[in-house]
Amino acid sequence: MTIDNIKIFQDSGKVDIALVEAVEKKMAVLFPSSYKQFICRHNNAYLTKQYFEFFRPDRNEMGVSDIFFFGFGFEQELITYSENIEGAQSYDAYGFEGLVTFASNSFGDYICFDYRDISEPDQPKITFMSHDEFDDETDKMLTYHVAENFDEFCSLLYQEVFDDEAQYAS
C-alpha cells in the first residue's frame, strides 16, 4: 500500500503546487512526489487512519503515535500559523539538522522527513522526534526511525478501534 492508504477525516482544501515548491526551495530540500501530490489535494490533513507504530530501541518496545499534517499557505490565509509547516521547524538547540517536520501528533511530537544519510534527495526517511525526551549524552531530542520513505510510511497508517467502539466497527 502507498498513498492510497491515506483516508481523510478533514483538511483545509487544495493548495497550489507553487506554494509547496516555494517552501522546498526555501528549505533547500526536495519533498517526495507522493507527499506533494497528497498535500496539494489535502492541505493540513487530519486522517481517519491516523495511527502508526515504530520501534523504540531505548525501551525495547513499540511506540504508537497519531498524526496530523502541517499545511502550506499561512501568508495566503489558507491555514493558521500553528498549522503552518514553516512554523513547525523551530527546534532550538535540541533538534537536528537535516530533519524537516511535516506533521505532528496530539502530544506535540514531530514526524519528520529525515534528509540525513539518504541516497535519493527526494526520498527521505521518516523519523519520529520526541519533543520531551532527550538523549543524555547529546541533550538532543530522541529520534526513532519509522519508515524508509513516505510511501512506506503511508502503508503503516491504521485506524485504532477502541474496546468500547468495537461493536460499531465493520
Residue 118 C-alpha from the chain's centroid: 17
Domain residue limits, the chain: 3-158
pLDDT at 79: 84
- % of the chain beyond a pLDDT of 70: 91
pLDDT bin (cut points 50, 70, 90) of residue 170 is very low
- Closest CA relative to residue 68, chosen from 35, 106, 123: 106
CB 103 within 8 A of CB 47: no
Sheet harboring 141-147: ordered strands across? 8-10, 46-56, 61-69, 99-104, 110-114, 125-134, 141-147
pLDDT at 92: 75
pLDDT bin (cut points 50, 70, 90) of residue 1 is very low
- Closest CA relative to residue 32, chosen from 166, 152, 160: 152
pLDDT at 98 over 90: yes
Rounded-to-integer distance, Cα 126 and Cα 48, Å: 20
Topology, domain 3-158: SMI1/KNR4-like (3.40.1580)
